[in-house]
Every structure is written in structure tokens, then in C-alpha cells.
Amino acid sequence: MYQPEPQSMTFSTLISDIDKGIIKIPQFQRDFVWTINQSAKLIDSILKGYPIGTFILWESGEELRSIKNIGGAELPPTPLGSKAQYVLDGQQRMTSLYATLKGLLVQRETRKDNFAELYIDLEADEDDQLVVTDIEDRNPKEVISLRNLLEGDISVLIEYPKDYHSKLTDYKNRINTYRFSTILLRDATIDVATEVFTRLNVGGKSLTVFEIMVAKTYDASNNFDLSEKYDDLLTRLEQVEYETIPESTVLQVVSTILVKECTRQHILRLEKADFIDVWDKAVDAIERAIEYFRNYYRIPVSRLLPYNGLVVTFAYFFYQHKNKPTGYMRELLDDFFWRVSLSERYSSALETRLGQDIKRIDVILKGELPKYDLKLNVTKDLIINNGHFSVNRSFIKSILCLMAYHEPKSFSDNSVVRINNSFLKQANSKNYHHFFPKAYLQKQGEDMFYINHIVNITIVDGFLNKNIIRAKAPSEYMKDFVEQNSKLRETMKDHLIGDLNEFGVLEDDYETFFEKRAELIVEELNKWLITSKSNPVETI
């Protein structure tokens, strides 16, 4: 059991240890936000001998990603042979003391604060505020800056009237002899240190696993900074419109590769050396998984992906399997992808289910069909009853992926429809089009559930959706496209819509269209699934 060590240190020791690079602010600490007035009250409390709280420090030989600049001052690395002491609690107070003594100019988002502008009022009584920030219209010999008090030589102090000399000496001694209460957590693991930090900050925002792992895996000698590595990955993914893959997914990929599990506990227990060693291979696996989603499933952007968790299982597959899957193995992987997506498997208990599915991927890697514990019923009734259009549901995204696979073309000229991540944040996206427009169906008295339904959604370009079709009846706007697009029949197949007459489009028969398109969606989905006695797929 770790036993914290109560200690105390003087003002000069505290400042000296910061100057030497011994005391550090870890990356997971928040920005310095205290104002000059808050700093003034802190110094005032010290002058009056009031307690200002305890600094909690974690002494460790581990080199963490730390904020080297405290209050904007350039500070050296921790000296060789010394252990860094990372601030777990008291960062605002400590940075305030340091910025005040050094007279630092601290850059904020919207302003600069000059911490040299703290003064001791030599005319104030003990019960008054001794430290002030506003000295306009004051006699300059009635106030002294904190820096001059502590660092000024005899020539500075002797300039003040003799009546103040005893006060100047007294105030300087009070600050220099003040004992700052500290608790030292010596040689605890980073898991313990970050848990202590989180518990101390129960009123604030808890640390994320990523923030902890950024600190834990930092290694200057190997030029490894997880935060920078993740940013580099996102920069590359942005070029292929998969930049919405979150930090947590990347950590889960690394963890499943190393230990086949990815709970918070498993991630935090990963060895630093193992994490760094596998990073490049994990990133390569992620990029190959995304390439597979884009090129084979034809999912052009990350917002269409039913779950980010699919990146984890597919990256694990590509880490183990260096080539693209072919033949039966590809069919097994297809079956897995659509089962997970359509069953909404990762909507809860994600980490646990990823651990289970890594075992299924291991079975697929052997060229065998895994056993699934959830019966999948891909029927027309399933599509109809669960098809309310919501872009955040994996079931809906699955069907959108099916549509994207067929690479839908523009009704007007058969040109490719470009799908963009920025267009897919909400249900009224430029790319989502109600084939029977909402306004038209509402006038016909259709129920909103069936109006705003995935069966009624097609993927089109924004100009066509907003400027040409609008609220027109399908028979009206499709007749124009029949004249404009000589390949319209093929175009409609790309949208999973058959012959316009058979589908009731030219007669504005929404009931026929709805039934026919639901049947075609079911037919297309079942081309991806493997049916067996152990893994039944109901398709009635």
C-alpha cells in the first residue's frame, strides 16, 4: 500500500525546484486560469500566515509528457539523477506563486495578464487587504511590488521611508519562512497517480484514458508522444474523410493487438515499451482496415460507418492477416460486418463485446465460421418496423452503407454522388433525400413514421435535393429526369429502386414503392450473410 509522506517546504525551495525542472506540471492538468486578483488574495493569505491548502506531488522516475512552461516561463528538463515531482493538486496555486514572483506576462486566449503588477500596501493595517493590484493615484513609496520586496537589494529597499523598513523586513521574512504543506506520493505507478488526481478533482472533469496514456507512454528518447502521433494519424485520415475516428478507438486497437481485450483496466495496464513498439504496426492495421471499408464496402466517409468499434475488429484482423481476404474468408468477414451492424451489437457494453468478437475474428482467421449468440432476423418486417430514419443508429447506417456500396449516381445525369462527412452530421443532410418528399407526403396525410423512414431515403447531391426536387411529387420530377438521363434505369438500380412503373413512382403510389423497396433492401442485405444451423438468418 502506498503511504503518502507529509512534508513542508519554504517559498525559496518551491521556486528553486521549479526553476531546476524538478517540479513539473503533467500534461493532464488543465490550463492555468487564475486571475491576478486571485493571486493577490493568495499572497495576502501567506503574509497573514493563513493556510492555503496542501500541494500534492507525485515523485517518479518515469518521464511523462509534461507542460514545460509554467506560466509561460521556459524551464529546463529534470536534471540527470533526479526524479521529477509532478503536481497532482495545487497547480493553480503553485503556478500563481511562480508567475507572481517572476513577474510573468501570461498569455490568455483573449488577453495578457501581467503578474508583476502585484503590490504590498505598506499603509494597510493587518486586518486590511495587504496585497493590491490597483496603485493608480497612490504614492509610489507607499507600495512595493512583490518582486522588489523579495529580490530587490538594499539599494531598492533603502529608498523607502524609514517608517516602512521594519514592515519591509517583516513581510519579506513572512514569505520566505512560510512553510508550504506538501504531500509526496513517492514511486507510485502512473495508474495510482492518475487515480489520485481524478479523486482529488471529483468536482471537475475526470481524466480520459487517452490523457492518462499520453502521460504514461511519453518517451523523449524514442521521440514518442502519443498526442502528436494521434494528430499525425488524424491528418492522414482526414485526406480520406475518416478523421472522425476517436482517440478511444485507436487505444482499443492497440490493446486488442497486445492483449486481445480493451477495457479501461486492460489499456491502463499496457506496458509502455510494448505500446510504443506496436504503435506503427497498429496504425498500419487501422489504415488498411479503413482502406478496406472504403474500397471493398465502398463506405466513402467515416460518419457512415455503423460503429467505430468495427475499426477495432477489422484492424485486429489486418494486423494478423497481411493480405486482403479472399474466397470464403472474405465471406466470413462480410457476414461478421453486417451481423454486428444490423444487430446493433456495439450499442452497449462495447469493450466487453469487442473482447468477445476478437475471439470470433481469430476463428475467421482460421477460415472457419464463428458461432454467434444472437439470432439475426433480416426480414421485410424488421426493415419496416425499425426503419425510422435517425443517422445515429447503426441499423440505419447499415442500410445507408448498403446504398453507398451501390455507388448512387445523380438522377439528372448519372454523375457520381460525392458523400461528405460534413454533410452527414444530421438527418437533414444535403446528401439525404426523401424520394417521396416529406412535404408532399404530409399533404397526402401519410403518417410521419413512414414518411421519415429509411425505405424512403436515397443518397443524392445537395444541389439536386435542395434546388430541383424540393417538394415535388415523384411522378413530376422523375419525368424530367427520364428526358435528361438516358441511363436512368441503371441509375435507379444504384439507388435500390427498380422499374419506375413497377415501383409505383410514376403514379405517386407510395404504398407500392415502400413495399417494393423494402423487399429489395432485404434481398441485397442477405447477399452478405451466411446462413447455417448455428447462425440462422431469417429472411421471410
Q: What is the pLDDT of residue 40?
A: 94
Pull the grid cell for residue 513. Answer: 414503392
Q: How many residues does the chain have?
A: 540
CB 229 within 8 A of CB 214: no
Q: What angle separates helix 510-525 from helix 394-405, to the nearest 10 degrees?
A: 80
**pLDDT for 492:** 93
Q: In what order do the strands lie in the sheet with 143-145?
A: 131-132, 119-121, 143-145
Residues 338, 529: Cα–Cα separation, whole Å: 7
Q: Which three cell numbers stand for residue 161?
A: 521611508
CB 428 within 8 Å of CB 389: no
- Count Cβ atoms below 10 Å from residue 394 Cβ, excluding itself: 20
Q: Whole-model pTM?
A: 0.76
Residues 388 and 397: beta-carbon distance below 8 Å: no
Q: Cα separation of 14 and 202, whole Å?
A: 26
Those residues whose C-beta lies under 8 Å from the C-beta of residue 138, and which sit 6 or more positions away, are none
70 near 95, Cβ under 8 Å? yes
Distances (CA, A) of 102 to 69, 98, 116, 128, 139: 13, 6, 7, 25, 24
Nearest CA to 181 out of 26, 70, 75, 46 is that of 46
According to DSSP, the β-strands at 55-60 and 84-89 are: antiparallel
Please give the average pLDDT of every successive group of 10 residues along the chain, which has 540 residues.
79 91 82 89 94 91 72 81 88 90 84 90 92 91 91 85 92 93 86 75 68 83 91 96 96 98 93 95 98 96 95 98 95 96 94 97 96 85 93 93 93 82 52 89 94 93 62 85 88 94 95 97 93 53
Confidence at residue 426, expressed as pLDDT on a 0 to 100 scale: 44
Please give the radius of gyration of the chain, using alpha carbons only, rounded to the nearest integer: 33
CA distance 19 to 319: 46
* DSSP for residue 539: -
The answer to whether the CB of 252 falls within 8 A of the CB of 313 is: no
302 with 241: CB under 8 angstroms?
yes
Question: Which three cell numbers, joined as nine digits, stand for 433?
Answer: 433525400
What CA–CA distance (Å, rounded) separates 335 from 352? 20
